[in-house]
Chain A
Amino acid sequence: MAFLLKDLLGKDKILTSGHRLCPGCGAPMAVKMVTMATDNPLIITSATGCLEVSTTIYPFTAWDTPWVHSAFENAGATISGLQTAFLAWKKKGKIDKEVKFLAFGGDGGTYDIGLQALSGALERGHDFVYVCYDNQGYMNTGAQRSASTPMGASTTTEPAGKKSIGKRIQRKDLTMIAAAHHNAYAAQSSISHWQDLMSKAKKAFEYEGPAFINVLSPCVRFWRVPSSKTVEIAKLAVETNFWPLFEIENMKLTLNFKPKERKPIIDWIKAQGRYKHLLQAGNEPVIDEIQKEVDAYFDYLVRLSSI
């Protein structure tokens, strides 16, 4: 069932005001939308990243719910431990609430550093939801390259220059890696499509077993876009097919959004400062290659969804 915004009013309380994420950050939008999708009490953990450090600067916490600090690599392990402890307490009759377990990780803590803990947790089949807010780099420490950084983007560890186009290789397809754990519900969404994200979060909470949602959550600071453009840029990613919205359940892939006419990838590239070197003469082949990869990937998803 679709969500109506007017019925959700007053539910945006899990992450409170007073957190110290940058103006226009996409991460709190993702948190807000995901946490509003359930009425059950939540226990949350976060892997190290912007979200974790900016919401819990001592002696303050912006979480209006039990929240556990986790290191960079083990949000998956932390959430499985919490959920197992909850099951033990339930068995002993110490708790009678239906608590849901939620983990947040950035792309650094999910694509790279926390991948083995996440994979382990998915494989063991704990009942939890893992949300990766993907801002395509280690933005908390000043835009280092991660496995999620797209080809052609300039980062401090792979900067654009005379001999460099920024990142030389394509990004890792994490949602499909999560989907390769066949017991898991895996989905890809974006903060620009709140209905899509909230429906997927609801499904993930209700799913008996592990669930993973990969949410595109722009970093206005290091994508070099104005702070007001967060939603617009995320929307552009979906409309250019750079970031397709899809979900995989019981090994069946559903494409949730198919643009009537997909916008060319150049629209997405020229909107962001981290790609500005690609607009110089001589870099056209790079843009062509990015476009080819985007189209090939979308075709691949279409093929999987129609089987």
Chain B
Amino acid sequence: MAAKLKGWKEIPEAGTIVEPGNARNYKTGGWRSDRPVWNKETCIHCFFCWIWCPDMAVQVDQANKKMTGINLEYCKGCGVCAEVCPKKCFTMKNEKELTNE
């Protein structure tokens, strides 16, 4: 999952990281054991899941001010979104069961 590591000659002095936000290349989705399944129909686009998601994994359409889904490449499956949702739009489903389905 991790990108190819650099050799010591390619590393900047003092080991500084010169590419801001490159942790995006590190996908944390593999940590997840429960997946939030979003019900689009009942969503009222209040963005509570977006403000509280600790992994910035809630995807939104900025122009139309709509929630569009969960980025499963990063979602760690903590279930905070399911708890804070006032309309209970999320069902936490076990990854293993989802795979079996």
Contacts and interface: CB of A to CB of B under 8 A. Distances in A.
A32 B80 contact: no
Q: Tell me the dominant secondary structure on chain A's binding face.
A: loop
18 contacts: A5-B47, A6-B45, A10-B60, A17-B55, A17-B74, A18-B26, A18-B28, A23-B77, A24-B76, A24-B78, A58-B15, A59-B3, A59-B6, A228-B82, A228-B83, A228-B92, A231-B80, A231-B84
Nearest to B67: A9
Nearest to B55: A17
A17 B47 contact: no
Given A17-B56, A64-B20, A230-B80, 8 more contacts: A6-B47, A20-B28, A22-B76, A58-B15, A64-B21, A228-B83, A230-B78, A232-B83
B40 interface: no
A15 B56 contact: yes
Nearest to B77: A23
Interface of B: 3, 5-6, 11, 15, 17, 19-28, 31-32, 45-48, 50-52, 54-57, 60, 62, 65, 71, 73-74, 76-80, 82-84, 92
Given A10-B60, A24-B54, A229 B83 contact: yes
Contacts of A5: 46-48, 50-51
Contacts of B82: 228
B15 to A, nearest CB: 7
In the complex, the 10 A-B pairs of residues with the closest C-beta atoms, listed nearest first: A228-B79, A24-B78, A64-B21, A18-B23, A23-B78, A23-B76, A62-B23, A17-B74, A5-B47, A227-B78
A116 interface: no
A288 to B, nearest CB: 31
Contact of B56 (A16, A33, A60): A16
Contacts of A15: 56
